[in-house]
Structure 1
């Protein structure tokens, strides 16, 4: 549709998440879909699947791309992903998925920064590596509405306590984001060590869901690592202070870009974590699921 509203959406107000499904006929799944993301993951409902393999991560040492302030998020789009992409396979995947974009989600408060929740608890940030099925498709745009078209690998960001070691790749992204303070600005970045963004773990949770932004297409295999990376309070503040232009040109800060959790609707939430017992899952300082 050609109305100016067709591409205009936000995280609050009349163009916020509860209205996405009405803003554009192509986005109807945002309100009527039964396999929507994000979700709250209840550790006691996780299904251990012995057939789940460890994920193969075939990622070049350095990647380059354009970091853009879209107004709704900070997005890194990888350069020319066809030639030598960053690829994810095995794990829950039947195909190879090639990284196309990295997006960072944060909240207005640290307690609500991740889109996914574990046992109703949020993290300070969620970094999403958005990949497309490169066995069947040539681009994310082509793949995003097709079955098995996409995979999103989610990494939780946890505030490091007392000047602990923080993640160097996340710091690099935030430092570069300060060069694009206004909506629509972009900057080319090179020598990004994307692999450093991933936590050191082979364990994950996986389920079938959707994109968490319009049009909410239900073509995504989600993989959520069981360990967070550690980030810094000041980095979150920096991202919150990036500007997005509202439609009436008032300046507002990006603040939070978190879609509320959606109903699970009897989906299987599988994991390759084999617990000797589930007893210790809930009585913990944070989430033993993430120890």
Structure 2
């Protein structure tokens, strides 16, 4: 892939909104971090914290975050969910509160009234339905958390009042990890057995192990394709590729409405001559996630 294709792929990656995409901002007390300018794919980067001391479970039983993840995925009112989740650090509630907030911010400005009933194709109809339902679930979030500073302040306040969160760190700003902490971060994510944390941690660390995925990624020429493959692997790890609001959001913004599946949407943006590499890389990333393999970190 030539450098000339970078802008196309980067714009596609940002527009798609990779899994935990989102707002990487320093806190008010911090200077801007160089990584804050990286694409939105960095998501909930380095949202890690060692499990609470003494937190044990019976072998074979669901991880302590499983119930919280279920509440997150089925919450009918995300504002109420966020408030409740922040009080459940032992279940990773603050991590999921942040994800819920970001999900709501992603869909906040989408206009589900863009097309009339007469000219809605099947995919656009799905976009109107899926995004509309998600906006309804997010209806009260802005009233309680009008901006990112408000929700990060609430997270810091909650952390200061009690036990640390099982998944979310206490720094406030969710900055990418350093090369030195990559292995520990991946080990912690795997130990949590939480798919959202595993996906986010692999995404956040991908630049550190890019070379281990293939010679093609030793230089920056193929990195946009790598990020797109990671974004698809992320949705597969989490299990929300089908009928994905991230595939449907661009449809509401005027892009072609061709698929409700995030995998198909992303792959369609990859040049035909690069799809074999894209598919191979996606499969390798899924293998790393499913086998809980720590990739070789470049130094």
Give TM-score, length-normalised by structure 1: 0.29
Give the TM-score of the pair, scaled to structure 2.
0.29
Q: Structure 1 or 2: larger strand share?
A: 1
